[in-house]
Amino acid sequence: MTRLLSGLRTAASVAGTAIVLCASAHAASVHRYEVSVHPSLDRLAVRACFDGKAPAALVAASDGARFYLESMRVGDRALDPSGDKVMLDAVAENTCVDYQVKLQPAQTRAQTGGPETRRVGSDMLTAIGDWLWRPQESDASIELRFRLPSGVEVSAPWQRRAGNDGQPVFLAGATPYNWSGVVAFGHFFTSDIQVPGAVLHVALLDAPAPAQQAQLEKWIEHAARNVSLLYGRFPVASLQVVVTPTPRGRGPVPWAYVSRGGGPAVHLFINPARPSGEFERDWSLTHEMSHLFLPYVVSRDAWLFEGMPTYLQNVLMARGGAISVEEGWQRMQEGFQRGARTAPELSLVRASERIGYNGIYLRVYWAGAAMMLAADLQLRSQTGGKQSLDTALELLSRCCASEERRWSAQEIVARLDELTGTTIFGDLVRAQFEGASYPDYEAVLTRAGVKVEGAWVEFDAAAPWAAERDALMRTGH
């Protein structure tokens, strides 16, 4: 989007409006990469051909990339990385660069964080930044073609179209080069799942048995359908979903994360030994998908980008019937209490600074979730039910989702107030950050007439926010 618009602007200033579309179509350069995958799956041979003037340098997003790079050359001339770049000085126009990569997968069984290169059974999961050397400029589009050994599939976050020869073609370039993501190669199961407003491109790594494939596909579809109940469509039009079995960790989904490099993706580590009912009632996938209601937020503002999905996971599961409405409230109250009990001496500012220690993330996540519940109910009440967090996030998706940059919580909060024509979000956040206490979730639940005692949940029909409370858990409000 950014590339096309800047192309249009340049063309308009020189050429006049009549031939703008034509001129911009020719002006936009698309670099062509052909990636040949060796049957071992850990060796890649890449031919990168540049359209017009070659970029000044090629960069890879990960620190490891230069160690995995075996050789790079243009014609007879060898190119070497200096620091994290390969300079392409004095390279002619319309030139191709060839390079070979030998990936070294992580050997440990434990997953250490976000995207990383590792073996999953005989399949290969790769961090894109470990092998893709590309122009740094975010307006550079790259068309990637894969030459795959027979029977090998590829899963990637980029926009995909079918190539003439049946081999997949992807278009990369919409997101900054240093946003991380994964590409997988292997003999795995792939399928496309349609949900309102989106196609999910699913890859189930390490070949689960057919019955389990069907069960996992159903689970993914149900979660996505529940997520699309917020405002009638899934928050992004295309999503890469990678499912990796893991023998470690607790519950059906011991670990999961969202990545944005190249396009939105959810990567789930599952314990295939857990019964299917546990998957359907687990919050992780709904939570991960709910991250996509917000654009990419800076890491210091976890209270917002984790608080939002932590709140929405229970609302959306209850709306879709994965859990009952009573259980939705019960899970919320339990979470608020856990957050309040964790490091009770810390204000939200201090807890955010120490989020990596001693489970303090629970305090940050659930404080953020409590703030979202308060804002949602108040917005519903103040606008007589015309607006809600649902409608606010729908407006946010229309104005801001296509901006490929990182946002601060402050910017998003200001935008939500602007879009709703209120000061609800800003007032609430300011008051919370000025004080030292945990959000007063008990006062909010009392106003909403929700009383939870253990497994017992009671609703007070005469509570001031009774109508808002009921509407919150219904679809279409």
Between 126 and 284, whose beta carbon lies closer to Zn ion?
284
Which residue has its beta carbon closest to Zn ion?
306
Q: By C-alpha distance, which of 244, 255, 272, 220 is closest to 122?
A: 244
Residue pair 147/75 in contact by the 8 Å Cβ criterion = no
**Helix, strand, or coil here: 238?**
strand
**Helix, strand, or coil here: 397?**
helix
d(CA 293, CA 338): 25
Q: State phi, psi for 143 to the nearest 5 degrees.
A: -95, 120
Between 244 and 286, whose beta carbon lies closer to Zn ion?
286
**Helix, strand, or coil here: 357?**
coil
Between 290 and 391, whose beta carbon lies closer to Zn ion?
290
Between 130 and 306, whose beta carbon lies closer to Zn ion?
306
Residue pair 424/391 in contact by the 8 Å Cβ criterion = no
Can you spell out the DSSP letters for 19-30? Answer: GHHHHHHHHS-E
Amino acid symbol at 107: Q
Tell me which residues touch Zn ion (CB under 5 A): 306
CB of 230 to Zn ion, least distance (A): 16
DSSP letter, residue 206: S
d(CA 410, CA 301): 9
Between 206 and 306, whose beta carbon lies closer to Zn ion?
306
CB of 305 to Zn ion, least distance (A): 7
Q: Which two tokens stand for residue 299?
A: 């890491």
Between 140 and 371, whose beta carbon lies closer to Zn ion?
371
Between 268 and 452, whose beta carbon lies closer to Zn ion?
268
CB of 320 to Zn ion, least distance (A): 19
CB of 364 to Zn ion, least distance (A): 11
CB of 296 to Zn ion, least distance (A): 13
d(CA 64, CA 117): 10
Between 189 and 283, whose beta carbon lies closer to Zn ion?
283
Between 301 and 306, whose beta carbon lies closer to Zn ion?
306
Kind and range of the H or E run holding 411: helix 409-420
Residue pair 392/361 in contact by the 8 Å Cβ criterion = no
CB of 367 to Zn ion, least distance (A): 14
Residue pair 449/462 in contact by the 8 Å Cβ criterion = yes
Can you spell out the DSSP letters for 288-339? Answer: HHHGGGS--B-GGGHHHHTHHHHHHHHHHHHHHTSS-HHHHHHHHHHHHHHH
CB of 294 to Zn ion, least distance (A): 11
CB of 411 to Zn ion, least distance (A): 20
CB of 309 to Zn ion, least distance (A): 5
Beta strands in 414-470, from DSSP E residues, in sequence order? 450-453, 456-459
